[in-house]
Amino acid sequence: MGKSKVIQMKKADKSQEARQILKNGIVNGMCIEKLIQMTEFGLVGNIDSVNGTNGTSHYFNRMKYVVAENERGFDLINYFFTDKENIIIATTSISIDHIDNISGCINKDNPDNVLDINIVMVDGAEITINVIY
Please report, for the chain, the start and end positions of each structural domain, with discontinuous segments joined by +.
Answer: 3-132
Hey, what CATH class is 3-132 in? mainly beta
In what order do the strands lie in the sheet containing 126-132? Answer: 54-60, 44-51, 126-132, 114-121, 99-106
pLDDT more than 70, % of the chain: 90
Other Cβ atoms closer than 10 A to 35: 21
Q: DSSP labels for 68-91?
A: -SSTTS--EEEEEEE-TT--EEEE
Element (H, E) at 12: helix 3-27
Rg of the Cα atoms in the chain: 17
110 φ/ψ angles, rounded to the nearest 5 degrees: -135, 65
Confidence of residue 11 (pLDDT cuts 50, 70, 90): low
Whether 91 and 3 have beta carbons less than 8 Å apart is answered as no
Whether 128 and 117 have beta carbons less than 8 Å apart is answered as yes
- Residue 68 pLDDT exceeds 60: yes
pLDDT tens by residue, 95-131: 999 999 999 999 999 999 999 999 999 999 999 999 9
